[in-house]
Amino acid sequence: MTFRRPLIAANWKMNGNRELVQATATMLQSIDCPHEILICPPVIFLADFPKSTKYCLGAQNTSSEKAGPFTGEISADMIRAVGAEYVILGHSERRSLYGETDATVLQKAQQAIAAGVTPIICFGETLSERQQEKTMWVLAQHLDAVYAAHPDLLARSVIAYEPVWAIGTGLTATPEQAQQVHAFIRQHLARIDQQAAAQVRILYGGSVNAENWQTLFSQPDIDGALVGGASLKPAEFAAICQMAKE
């Protein structure tokens, strides 16, 4: 059986302040956790986190360009320079609100990897697509668009399955639903690179909290979480981080 170290990632989105930075850092310093813990605050707060062996840092986005006349953009080299080891790419909010496509996500992932930053690439289906039983077809299209022509990316990235209908809604996929999709993702990617597919970490994101996480985490192909609202509550996020993989 392939060992995949679980990753618990906090996505603060456009929330937080320096007080939350301090409270989160202090809380995480006080716990023992065998998993990898990642905090992705707004990029302006990255430098405010004290260095620690208890957690690592990431950004929520990066540019598809290395440098140049792109006002307001932040490059992968820049986020790496202020401590980001990971970057979330292709989140459903970036896709729906800002028109990002799989092609855009691919460009950003390549820039991140070139800068020494690991991309966490998000995929998911809408409620309409799930109701029409198109979940697997939709995911296959997204996965192929990013990985089929660039199989080397698979061994250098993390995947997050985030059903769009469960983002910020309070709805959560059942453990069985989530496991079915995670297993499908791994099996589909095995056609591209069997070894990398067995090793890639696939996170679940979608209204994860301390009450539902343990049952989700018990599934064999769920390798961690992308936590939204609950990550803004240091004690609850710490509780999620300490839950054991069964």
Question: Tokens 């430098």 correspond to what residue?
Answer: 47
Task: Map out the domains of the chain with their CATH numbers.
Answer: 7-242 (3.20.20.70)
| pLDDT the model gives residue 127 | 87
Q: What is the pLDDT of residues 55-99, one digit of tens each?
A: 999 999 999 999 999 999 999 999 999 999 999 999 999 999 999
Any idea what DSSP says for residue 191? T
Q: Residue range 228-234: average pLDDT?
A: 97
The reply, when asked if residue 228 is annotated as ligand binding, is yes
| CB atoms closer than 10 angstroms to residue 68 | 8
The reply, when asked if residue 168 is annotated as ligand binding, is yes
35 counts as catalytic = no
Catalytic residue, from 35, 91, 142, 182: name it.
Answer: 91
Q: Residue range 208-230: average pLDDT?
A: 95
Summary count for the chain: helices (H), strands (E): 10, 8
| pLDDT the model gives residue 170 | 76
Question: Tokens 């092609």 correspond to what residue?
Answer: 103
Q: Which of 7, 43, 3, 45 is nearest to 24 (CA)?
A: 45
Above 90 in pLDDT, residue 2? no
The reply, when asked if residue 229 is annotated as ligand binding, is yes
Catalytic residue, from 125, 129, 162, 236: name it.
Answer: 162
Q: What is the pLDDT of residues 17-53, one digit of tens each?
A: 999 999 999 999 999 999 999 999 999 999 999 999 9
Above 90 in pLDDT, residue 105? yes
The reply, when asked if residue 12 is annotated as ligand binding, is yes
Question: Rounded mean pLDDT of the chain?
Answer: 95
CA distance 244 to 111: 34
Q: What is the pLDDT of residues 120-142, one digit of tens each?
A: 999 999 988 988 999 999 999 99
∠ Cα 58 61 67 (to 5°)? 105
∠ Cα 194 113 22 (to 5°)? 110
Q: Residue range 168-193: average pLDDT?
A: 91
91 counts as catalytic = yes
| pLDDT the model gives residue 1 | 61
- Backbone region of residue 42 per phi and psi (left: phi > 0; alpha: psi in -120 to 50; beta: other values): beta
| pLDDT the model gives residue 166 | 79
- The pair of three-digit structure tokens given for residue 45, joined into one six-digit string: 């707060």
Share of the chain above pLDDT 90, in %: 90
Please tell me the total number of residues recorded for the chain in this structure. Answer: 246
Above 80 in pLDDT, residue 15? yes
